[in-house]
Amino acid sequence: MWDLSKRSLVRRLVLLAGIWNLVVLLVAGVFLTAQFRDAAIRRFDQSLAVLTDDLYAGSTVEDGVLKAPVLTDIRATRAYSGRYWTIFDQPAGGGGLNVIERSRSLFDSDLMIPMEQSERLMSESGKTLYFDLKGPQNRPLRAAALLARLPGYPRPVVFIAAEDRSPIDADADRFGRITTVALVILGAGLIAAVVVQVRVGLLPLFRLRREVASVRRGKAEKLEGAYPEELEPLAVELNALLSHNQEVVERQRTHVGNLAHALKTPLSVMLTEASQQPGGLADVVERQAQTMREQVDHHLRRARAAARSQTSGERTPVEPILDELAVTLERIFQDKSEGRGIEIDWRCPEDLCFQGERQDFMELAGNVMENAGKWCKGKVRAEAVASSPEQMTLTVDDDGPGLPPDRWSDALKRGQRMDEHTPGSGLGLSIVDELARAYGGSVTLGASPLGGLRVTLVLPRSEG
Amino acid sequence: MRILLVEDDPDLSRQLKLALGDAGYAVDHAADGEEAQFLGETEPYDAVVLDLGLPKVDGVSVLERWRRGNVATPVLILTARGSWNEKVAGFDAGADDYLTKPFHTEELLARLRALLRRSSGHASPTLSCGGLRLDPRAARASVNGEPLRLTSLEYRLLHYMMMHQGRVIGRTELVEHLYDQDFDRDSNTIEVFIGRLRKKLGSDRIETVRGLGYRLTPLEGETTE
């Protein structure tokens, strides 16, 4: 059994049309050729019938002797010309037929009536019969024969006229060949028409496929094109599915965000309350609250990362986000370096786009740049470039103390804090690492030409 | 010093009121967005501690309404989510600093002190060029009253151009004033920053004088006060 459901639609449609065409054309060809041959033979038979009638009508009986008419057809007189006639009679005792007269064209041979035809003649006297027989030199002949009685002649007489039938066979064969060629050409034309028709007819389907692909690659947010009425519902459903997906992700995110919010305010209360109690309780509560906070952050990120794998790609222009982050971070760190604040020098091509959600990119770049801001002496440099058609690289440098190379990999681990006295959690870079991985990207640490740490983020890029 | 505390959690409110009171501030408390907005608009506070997750009207909207209504009181926002999206939205709305929950009370008090110290410098001479205004003390700039969000490099460039407005300034001169050390001194840098400034100020304010440099001028019809 063919598994039709897996075959190409184009091939399936063309194949079906092809099989149907083949059957129809074959039947038509056979039918036409047969019709042509029949008509030719009928015409041939008629001319033979005329000859037998002439023989019958022209024959006379004189003194019990049968005389054949004088026929002027030249072909009946030239030897082996292809046209022959014979008059037989049937002896009284039955048995074979006696030749009474025959055309001169027969020369030295006789027309031999096959057995079953002569029996048919006996039983259907007065009726002209047509049949094939072998003539002189083994030529195929067509014959018309009539058994009749002549007044004054005692025995039944058989009049038979025959003619070489190879011209009709040749004609019929030629017609067959021409018909075959014509039908083959017609068939090829029909198949070509079907191929074109199917290709053109299925164009919207191919367009739909391209659009879906571009949604997946994050070049479009939904299907925009207009589709024929058979495909329109599919496009509408796809769009509904996309926006449903988006909604689910958004809901999950809000949900997790709300949970985090709901937990963190009580944590603040506990921290404050504990700090006012004397003794070891404050330390324990603080440590535990810190752990809880890290747990909440961790699961918040996991939820985001999980949500991300379900979303369709979105494209986020990088430049405005770096601008916003730079302005915000300079404000946040405005009291740093004895009140001189920090200076964030950032560069980014205007058309560079991150393939993914805005919020996620903000989280990635925000945490890396905040980390740089936290450790720098006053200068942070951020540069985003398109490193390949599929990837972008964000490099963030600071002029702070940096990290020794043996601690680079530790810094990305969860809960690792480089300095217990720096305000804020040390989680910034592990968040980035986790999120970047969820996007199939990476984070690497290194030494910066400014003297501090260099963080290099490789992320998916959306082109065009 | 009078502080407005906007926080809906009763326990946290009580603790913060106590801590702020102990630190010597007079504290008013609002438990929802509407009340906060009303108090902030009617009372002369020295600073506001604003939680973003509030009933009725959320914190960011309250802040936006204050800033639109020309309430310039410094605002410290408290956020539980701590996502950059929320932080940026808070600063966009006009916040001066933020603190992520859970936090230590000492941290809050330290931030508040810094905030008050920063805002204490008043009535500094401003530079102006048409609708463009720049306050060197607060390091803020605005166009037609709308505050501009500039990075420090952009601010520095604009400051220099405003001090020399009307004059054509060469690229090398601008680079020298943009960077105090000598890295990145290609003239391409200046084009990048001029481009960004034009985006934020409106493209007509900075004129390119071919082969010479750039010139900052008031728009036609504007007068320099």
Give the ipTM of the model, two decimals please.
0.78
Write the CA distances from A343 to A246, B23, B190, integer angstroms.
37, 32, 16
Mutation target for B interface from A272, A368, A394: give the one with most B CBs within 10 A. Answer: A272
pLDDT at A420 over 60: no
Among A210, A316, A296, smallest CA distance to A256 is for A296
Predicted TM-score of the model (pTM):
0.61
Distance (Å, rounded) from C-alpha A48 to C-alpha A145?
Answer: 9
> In the predicted model, what is the mean pLDDT of residues A423-447?
77
Angle, alpha carbons A227-A233-A238 (nearest 5°): 95
- Chain B residue with minimum CA distance to A286: B104
pLDDT at A2 over 70: no
Distance (Å, rounded) from C-alpha A245 to C-alpha A243?
Answer: 5
The model's pLDDT over A10-47, given as tens digits with 9 standing for 90+, comes to: 888 888 999 999 999 999 999 999 999 999 999 999 99
Give pLDDT, residue A383: 94
| Tokens 């036409």, located at residue | A32
**Average pLDDT of chain B to the nearest whole number:** 84
- pLDDT-derived band at A265 (thresholds 50, 70, 90) equals confident
Give pLDDT, residue B185: 57
- pLDDT-derived band at A439 (thresholds 50, 70, 90) equals confident
Distance (Å, rounded) from C-alpha A159 to C-alpha A103?
Answer: 12
Give pLDDT, residue A431: 77
The model's pLDDT over B141-186, given as tens digits with 9 standing for 90+, comes to: 888 878 888 888 888 888 888 888 888 888 888 887 777 655 555 6
Residues of A in contact with B121 (CB under 8 A): none
Distance (Å, rounded) from C-alpha A335 to C-alpha A230?
Answer: 64
Among A60, A78, A51, smallest CA distance to A145 is for A51
**Average pLDDT of chain A to the nearest whole number:** 84
Angle, alpha carbons A352-A358-A360 (nearest 5°): 110
Give pLDDT, residue A334: 82
- Chain B residue with minimum CA distance to A431: B83
- pLDDT-derived band at A193 (thresholds 50, 70, 90) equals very high
Give pLDDT, residue A308: 61
- B105/A275 Cβ within 8 A: yes
- Chain A residue with minimum CA distance to B188: A347
> In the predicted model, what is the mean pLDDT of residues A281-289?
81
Give pLDDT, residue A34: 93
B175 touches chain A (CB under 8 A): no
Mutation target for A interface from B5, B7, B84: give the one with most A CBs within 10 A. Answer: B84
Give pLDDT, residue A24: 94
pLDDT at A367 over 50: yes
**B 41-80 → A contacts, CB under 8 A:** 53, 80
Q: What is the DSSP letter of B102?
A: S
**A 310-349 → B contacts, CB under 8 A:** 323-328, 330-332, 334-335, 341-347
**Alpha carbon A168 to its chain's center:** 50
> In the predicted model, what is the mean pLDDT of residues A112-136?
85
- Pairing verdict, β A379-386 and A343-347: parallel
Q: Which of A257, A341, A342 sits opposite B81 (nearest CB)?
A: A257
Distance (Å, rounded) from C-alpha A160 to C-alpha A128?
Answer: 9
Q: Kindly provide the b/e burial profile for residues B139-176, where b requires at least 16 CB atoms within 10 angstroms of the residue's own CB.
A: bebebeeeebbbbbbbbbbbbbbbeebeeebebeebbe
> In the predicted model, what is the mean pLDDT of residues A87-99?
76
With beta carbons less than 8 A apart as the criterion, state whether A329 and A321 touch.
Answer: no
Q: What is the DSSP string of A409-450?
A: TGGGSTT--S-TTSSS-TTHHHHHHHHHHHTT-EEEEEE-TT
**Lowest-confidence region among A70-84, A131-145, A224-238:** A70-84
The model's pLDDT over B56-114, given as tens digits with 9 standing for 90+, comes to: 888 999 999 998 888 888 999 998 777 788 888 888 888 988 888 888 888 899 989 88
Distance (Å, rounded) from C-alpha A326 to C-alpha A373?
Answer: 10
- pLDDT-derived band at A68 (thresholds 50, 70, 90) equals confident
B110 touches chain A (CB under 8 A): no
Q: What is the DSSP string of A305-338?
A: HHHHHHSPP-EEEHHHHHHHHHHHHHHHTTTHHH
pLDDT at A276 over 70: yes
- A331/B91 Cβ within 8 A: yes
What token pair was written down for B89?
């939205």
With beta carbons less than 8 A apart as the criterion, state whether B61 and B16 touch.
Answer: no
Q: Which residue has the higher pLDDT, A222 or B76?
A: B76
- A325/B84 Cβ within 8 A: yes
Write the CA distances from A449 to A258, A266, A370, A404, A452, integer angstroms.
42, 44, 19, 14, 7
Distance (Å, rounded) from C-alpha A56 to C-alpha A44?
Answer: 19
Q: Max Cα separation, chain B? A: 65
